[in-house]
Structure 1
Amino acid sequence: MAGPVIVLDRYYLGITVLTTIGYQLLGFAIAWTFQFDKITDFTGGSNFFILALLTLLLGQEFSARNIVASVLVMVWAARLAGFLLFRVLQFGSDSRFDDIRSHFFKFLGFWVAQIVWVWTCSLPVVVLNSPGVTKHGQPSFGTASDILGIVIWAIGWSIESVADVQKFRHKTSKAPKDKPIDVGLWNWSRHPPYFGEILCWWGIWTLSIAPSVQGYLSGSARSAQLGTLVSPLFTMVVLLFGSGVPTAEKPVAQKFHAMSYPADTHPQHAPHSAAWANYQAYRAQTSILLPVPPGLYRALPTWVKRWVLLDLPMYEWTPAEGKE
């Protein structure tokens, strides 16, 4: 079997995209038929696990680097899929899908986007495990890029995991509803899970490229492996400009403003609660993504917050915007 695979799909791009399409469309068919959210996020997370394990077993390259890279992806995927499944089972449904769950093509569009996300982000481990790379050999495990990649991944995974638990506990506690979550990592970042996820995929990519960095690959093999840089870059673009921070920031601002100024209340009247003031104070002292101590963040110049820490104007929402 190895011969035809090497000739037709030597970087496992074909088999992984077909596997991802098949798995996601199966998940869509189930979710659409029964109109529920129980498997939507679980299908996305578990797909990463499947691709890492599938390519590791197909490639039959069980060197330390391939095993470690594949296991790290599987650990990340298992935690994400398991946590998201647990969360949706606790709350019964996911409000993100309320407006699209009953619309066939809108709901399908989400699953198509999930196909692109899973396949693109999985590329570093997929290509590392592929015969197009493994046939050239690779350096012994323990290079600088190996160690750096594992450290980056470990920091990112820890941040993402802890932040998810902290937010879940906050939501299920009797914490004041008119105050944003400001416990633990959420006191230093408004979106610590996104920051952790970005680090995880930079770590996986850094770990995976040792064969290219050490000169074991050349030509198309080296290009293919270095080209997997699209994985961490894609993760950053999606979380910073797509379905991550932009879709989370403005709805939160609108929610806290509505608590203080219900629709039937004139903006000039005294607020019903301090929710809007609490949110503005939290936003003024809390970094958008990179964890920064609140005291330090408040003291930073606006240009540093904007163009270094990426708290961009596109994330802001004002009451005037809600009247348009």
Structure 2
Amino acid sequence: MNTAAFAQGLPVTAAVALAVLLAAFAVGVRTGHHRGVDVAWGLAFTAVAVAGQALSAGHGDPGRRLLATLLVTVWGLRLSGHIWWRGRGAPEDPRYARMLSRAPEGPARTRYALRKVYLLQAALVWFVSLPVQAAQYVPRPPGALAWAGAALWAVGLFFEAVGDGQLARFKADPANRGRVMDRGLWRYTRHPNYFGDACVWWGLFLLAADTPLGWAFVGSPLLMTWLLAFGSGKPLLERALGADRPGWAEYAARTSGFLPLPPRSPAGRKGRG
């Protein structure tokens, strides 16, 4: 791997991630709602991958570069499109409303949103995408490990896309208002979309893991998995669902919190979350 060329490209990809999130920040200030940052999340990853594709020309294997860029682009555009469609016309996301309520209204709250939401997410996009950027500079064609990563990515995309689709159809039925979604993939894990997201990023990590430098970025999928399972993903969502969804406790008692597993029987629920 041409480590010098890779290092020279890092500030450029950081600037690309920052530009996308700053554009989202401008939209958020204009509309007064900051939920659009979730749409920008997938777009920023896509923009970084496309920038890395251009910067790595002449340094990495064309097939590996194309594979890495294509996988990130498909994932990022699907996610952004889904979040945009789901949230069109909706009020502010309660997560951001609670977060921003910690700062006084006016310019102070705007600056707080910039620091705590947009700049933080720009940094996360850049850091989590490091294995993808590294893979784009690997001079060898994809090998068995890279193709295993692509397969794991496909599993992750399946869980994300199918889980999101099942939940959207469930919510579209007025008869399900206030009920807990426990069908399809949601019967086996309380968060098929979060589990799928983790698989996607471990799969993308494997695209670079057949090089010694690639293993230096194992922290990227580790951080993404931690955020999904223990950070800003699962815990915050479950706290809200547990407060306003009748039947949530029973559903949580029988359903795995992250990894897809068969539903637990009543006899096996005690002491298992």
Normalization by structure 1: what TM-score?
A: 0.74
Q: Does 2:258 correspond to 1:289?
A: yes
Structure 2 matches for 1:27-176, cutoff 5 A?
27-37=24-34, 39-60=36-57, 61=60, 63-89=62-88, 91=90, 93-99=92-98, 100=100, 103-108=109-114, 109-130=116-137, 134=138, 137-138=139-140, 140-141=141-142, 143-176=143-176
How far off is 1:300 after superposition? Answer: 6.8
Q: Does 2:24 correspond to 1:24?
A: no
Tell me if structure 2 keeps the 8 A contact 1:153–1:201: yes
How far off is 1:176 after superposition? Answer: 3.3
Higher relative CO (CA 8 A, sep ≥ 6), structure 1 or 2? 2
Match of residue 235 from structure 1: 224
Provide the aligned length of Structure 1 versus Structure 2: 262
Higher deviation after alignment, 38-47 or 49-58: 38-47
How far off is 1:38 after superposition? Answer: 6.5
Superposed CA offset, 1:11-55 (max 9, x none):
522111122122212221221133134632221110111111111
Change (3 A) 1:128 1:9: closer
Normalization by structure 2: what TM-score?
A: 0.86
Highest CA radius of gyration, 1 or 2? 1
User: Which amino acid letter does the alignment assign opposite residue 124 of structure 2?
Assistant: W
CA-based RMSD of the aligned residues comes to 2.4
Gaps of 5+ in 2: none
- Identical aligned residues as a percent: 28
Q: Does 2:177 correspond to 1:177?
A: yes
Match of residue 209 from structure 1: 209
